[in-house]
Amino acid sequence: MKKLFVTLAAVAFIVTGCTQKKPLVLYYSETGTTEAVALELQKQLGADIEKIEAVVPYTGNFQETIERGGREMRSGKLPELKPLKSKIANYDVIFLGYPIWFGTYAMPIASLVKDNDFAGKTIIPFCTFGSGGLDSSSEALKQALPKANILSGYGVRAARVAAAEKELDRFLKENGFKEGALEQLPDFSEQMPVTAEDSIVFSDACSSYQFPLGIPVSVAKRTTDDGTDYKFIAVSRGMGGEEANVTIFVTKGTEPDSKPEFTQVVR
């Protein structure tokens, strides 16, 4: 009887193909923020999980990583990674997580995508950042992995990582990775010139950030059960001093004393 069961299981394995139905959460994290999101994803998905590690680890010191990561980026000499324990070939769906470095995915991900075959895989990027980088890093992944199917991803500011649990629940349900009822969010209104009141919301959300985020010129809004979301278009200066429009998302809770927070900057 036991033998028959083993044989049936083997047949089922061959018939259903050799790939896992379970997704893999594969991530790099230097200082633990992306790891917190990866663990939450694993919990909500019941997924397998693996952390990517560099043979020579980054120190966790911001300035040192800026120097090393910048050097690696300029020279194209990517960090060597420890071999993965998971077999990429065994998974159809991979949630790929990373911190944003210099506006794109962290250097260990550059090594990962260069050294592994992701052709035919469905990849859902997730990232953490100081201000933003989900869209730019997803675009970079599409360029680096033209044979993979890169879906819309999830990103959260390191300062708001506590919001990830609830936001991931919505993200996973919206994208069909988790079952459950979901309340539809209303569309944003059209962009309108900012009023004095909107400027105060923008300033309360953005002025404590370490870099100036720009001057808001227009705003769209929507009201949800949790409060009000704002989509500001602001004029900002790039690294070279050039002016550019950026989109800055802000959210403010329903409590009268709740402080507005910016959720991401899209450049």
Binding-site ranges for ligand FMN (CB under 6 A): 29-35, 62, 65-66, 69, 99-103, 128-133, 158
Nearer to ligand FMN, 33 or 236 (CB): 33
Decide if 40 contacts 172 (C-beta within 8 A). Answer: no
Provide the minimum distance between the beta carbon of 11 and ligand FMN in the complex, in angstroms, as a whole number.
42
Provide the minimum distance between the beta carbon of 107 and ligand FMN in the complex, in angstroms, as a whole number.
8
Provide the minimum distance between the beta carbon of 181 and ligand FMN in the complex, in angstroms, as a whole number.
31
Nearer to ligand FMN, 184 or 210 (CB): 210
Nearer to ligand FMN, 13 or 62 (CB): 62
Nearer to ligand FMN, 65 or 251 (CB): 65
Give the whole-angstrom CA distance, residue 116 versus residue 242. 37
Nearer to ligand FMN, 31 or 86 (CB): 31
Q: What is the DSSP string of 99-161?
A: EEETTEE-HHHHHHHHHS--TT-EEEEEEEESS--HHHHHHHHHHH-TTSEE---EEEEGGGG
Provide the minimum distance between the beta carbon of 157 and ligand FMN in the complex, in angstroms, as a whole number.
8
Give the whole-angstrom CA distance, residue 38 versus residue 23. 12
CB-count burial class (<10 Å; 0-12, 13-18, 19+) for 126: buried
Provide the minimum distance between the beta carbon of 29 and ligand FMN in the complex, in angstroms, as a whole number.
3
